[in-house]
Amino acid sequence: MKKQLSQNWIISKSWLHFLIIILLVIGVFFRFANLDKKIYWGDEVFSSLRISGYMQSEMNEQLSNGRLISIEDLHKYQYPNPEKNTIDTIKGIILEDSQILPLYILMTRFWVEWFGNSVAVTRSFSAFISLLTFPCLYWLCQELFESSLIGWIAIALVAVSPVHVVYAQEVRAYSLWIVTILISSIALLRAMRLKTKVSWCIYAVTLSLGFYTHIFFTLVALAQGIYVIAIERFRLSKTSIYYLLSSLAGFITFVPWIWIIITNPQLEAVTWANVKPTLFASAARWAGIFSRTFLDLGISPSDPGKLKIVLIPFILIILALMIYSIYVLCRRTSKEVWLFVLTLIASVGLPLLLVDFAFQKRYATSRYTLPSVLGIQLAVAYLLTTKITSIYTKVWQKKLWSLVAFMLIMGGVISCMLHSQGQIWWNQFPEKYQEYPKIANIIDQGNKPLLISDDSIIPPIQILGHLVEPKVRFQIVEKNHLPQITNGFTDIFLFKPSDFLKAGIEKIYNSKLQQINDLLWKITKSTEATSN
């Protein structure tokens, strides 16, 4: 690899490093910019419930009794408090969210306990963990390519990669998952190179960390096993034996949680994947998943089709670049290099692809394909580095590939700028939650507003709890129950009310309801309320 690099690289080394450091600073800035600006959406309020240590059943029982509650009452079930400890957090995950691995939740709980209760603080842990991606990525490139140049280019691509920035600002385990994938990959390559017992023990530890971070890490670990077996040519060599022992040790630590998942299945947690998409819709979704690696303008399924059509040429160019980078990688590198990248790309991507197209399930999302994205970025980093610095590349070709690199970087920077200013992004289901900020603004305009609902507390009510002002009061009742509305409120709203609640309010309180939008009604006329 080093022999193929142009001597011109030595002259421009400091200059290129300076530019990459600037991109790194920009990437860090976007990871922490406006952390509390975006809507705190469904997945995040579920994560916060787990962090608090309360179970959903407890919250429903304590809040759905028709009493007046404040924002503080809602936030009790979103942040750590003295009533619940770490054991309660683990218990809540086991009984109600067994598919959510506990490592990230526990680490975030300690982070929030240390730095304080707020949306910005809770999200900042993911942003902080995402910074570990950069040294890990550089180290992986050193182990894999034996080239610092590729490591620097990879850092530049990932620093302003829209998909990395999006998940660095979300209260879910994705940033930590990326880091554990990189660390386990480094540990594996290092163990195969050093062939020492200590290095294989380190690999076993990284596997255990990965298993307790994300359920799909098991697919990454399986892909690493395929890589080792293929490199050792299916022989029971010393490396193969050490790998099997390390993998077994790492897997044994995960067995207790496997038993928890089996005995406490949460099948309703993945009902969203039962939607059967058309072949075209699946293909379009996959194109969007991979193109967001370098370009993301926040287009969601609810946006007009014209916007999506305009993006088609850019998406096709990005996909072509990805395919070409994989082709060049396979042609110009050793089996140890290209096979590792391919197995990383295929680890999660291939199973999800089969499930999507063969069984018409909708599991394929950007957050689940992050290992594939990492592999593609490694391939693209190799392509750009060799094309720009190789002594075999003509001057005009170097300029062309320098332009390609510049366009990829600018696409990422522009995407990150748009993301930092948006209140809701495509990953937060805008088709479902985009009205919530508007609803919160309408409610906040009241002097002493009251919001009544018989809908689920989590996620909808808790999402509003993070949006409205502290003056707002809530009154939550169970289905087929009516609230006792008290005096003193200037504006009374119904949020996502059932037909029973709407009819009951109109009849018992002699009121008329004004529909503001699909989710919000306002009581416009009522007699003086009395308790019944």
Residues 97, 136 within the same domain: no
In a domain, 443, yes or no: yes
Q: 274 to each of 124, 352, 363, how far by Cα in Å?
A: 33, 14, 9
pLDDT for 396: 85
CA nearest to 348, candidates 312, 322, 375, 326: 375
pLDDT for 316: 94
Give just the sign of the alpha carbon dihedral 92, 88, 51, 211: negative
Residues 384, 412 within the same domain: yes
Alpha carbon 223 to its chain centroid, in Å, reads: 22
In a domain, 17, yes or no: no
Tokens of 280: 């075209």
Residues 236, 250 within the same domain: yes
Residues 255, 168 within the same domain: yes
pLDDT for 299: 84
pLDDT for 528: 43
Residue 67: which residues within 8 A CB-CB, separation 6 or more? 475
The last residue of a domain, from among 77, 103, 127 = 127
Residues 207, 306 within the same domain: yes
Residues 178, 308 within the same domain: yes
Residues 135, 184 within the same domain: yes
Residues 251, 299 within the same domain: yes
Q: Write out residues in the chain with pLDDT < 50, as ranges.
A: 1-11, 527-532
Half-sphere exposure in the Cβ direction for 396 (13 Å, CA) = 0
The last residue of a domain, from among 127, 146, 178 = 127
Task: Kindly state the helix (H) or strand (E) to which residue 514 belongs, with its residue range.
Answer: strand 512-515
Residues 209, 322 within the same domain: yes
CA nearest to 506, candidates 530, 493, 523, 489: 523
User: What's the pLDDT tens digit per position in 448-484?
Assistant: 999 999 999 999 999 999 999 999 999 999 988 899 8
In a domain, 31, yes or no: no
Residues 446, 395 within the same domain: no
Residues 139, 119 within the same domain: no
Alpha-carbon distance 516 to 40, whole Å? Answer: 23
Domain total in the chain: 3
DSSP bridge pairs for 474: 69, 451
The last residue of a domain, from among 97, 127, 157 = 127
Residues 84, 231 within the same domain: no
In a domain, 27, yes or no: no
The length of the chain in residues reads 532
Instruction: Note down the domain range covering 85.
Output: 42-127
pLDDT for 301: 66
